[in-house]
Structure 1
Amino acid sequence: MTDPICPLCDRPIPDGGGSLHHLIPKLKGGKGGPTVLLHQICHKEIHATLSEADLARDYSNVEALRNHPRLAKFIAWVGKRPPGFRSKVPGGRRKR
């Protein structure tokens, strides 16, 4: 069986390296809604970049996420890392 592919960065997700992302945040009505399996590092970057309100309003699909300027830069950077790469920097960097 092959590893699933992260829809954000298009790299394989090694066993145990995935994280389920609700396309519409649970707190904004997305409980039970569509989800995608992402790398943990990709999932963390989404939530470090965008608020729950931004995600619900403007970024409720993978294409919109990929087109966000900061996430596009992140995707270009992380795409050069091996599939199991994890950041060693703790904490989020969301700008408010």
Structure 2
Amino acid sequence: MTNSDPICPLCNRPIPNGTGSLHHLIPKLKGGKGGPTVLLHKICHKEVHATLTEAELARDFNTVESLRTHPRLNRFLDWVRKRPPGFHSKVPGRRRGR
């Protein structure tokens, strides 16, 4: 980890060694191809997609600020902020029931 590491806009932790994952704010399948993207930790990116459908992302959660307001993501962000920047889950995540 260096001072020049990018910062994850969701959890505000540094993203070490180019291990980030590019998130399309509007999903590509919903018209976001070529649209704005943000670099997130892989664990943060996986949680976004485990929590929200493509339609929900396109319609209601297409900004970093709106993602932070989702109750489940907000709880996850409170939890992950206490982990080191390179933390990742060894257990594969799964889509959450709605």
Corresponding residue to 1:88 among 67, 90, 94: 90
Corresponding residue to 1:16 among 10, 15, 18: 18
- What runs of 5+ residues in structure 2 fail to find an aligned partner? none
1:67 to 2:69 alignment: yes
Percent of pairs with identical residues: 77
Distance 1:94 1:52 in 2: 14
Q: Once superposed, which parts of structure 1, at least 4 consecutive aligned residues long, lie more than 6 Å away?
A: none
Could you tell me how far 1:51 is from its partner in structure 2?
0.2
Distance 2:54 2:20 in 1: 20
Distance 1:32 1:22 in 2: 9
Partner in structure 1 of residue 38 of structure 2: 36
Could you tell me how far 1:36 is from its partner in structure 2?
0.0
Could you tell me how far 1:94 is from its partner in structure 2?
2.3
Alpha carbons 1:24, 1:55 under 8 Å: kept? yes
How many corresponding residue pairs? Answer: 96
In the superposition, the TM-score normalised over structure 2's length comes to: 0.94
Distance 2:62 2:37 in 1: 10
Alpha carbons 1:47, 1:94 under 8 Å: kept? no
Alpha carbons 2:20, 2:40 under 8 Å: kept? yes
- What runs of 5+ residues in structure 1 fail to find an aligned partner? none
Secondary structure of residue in 2 paired with 1:20: strand
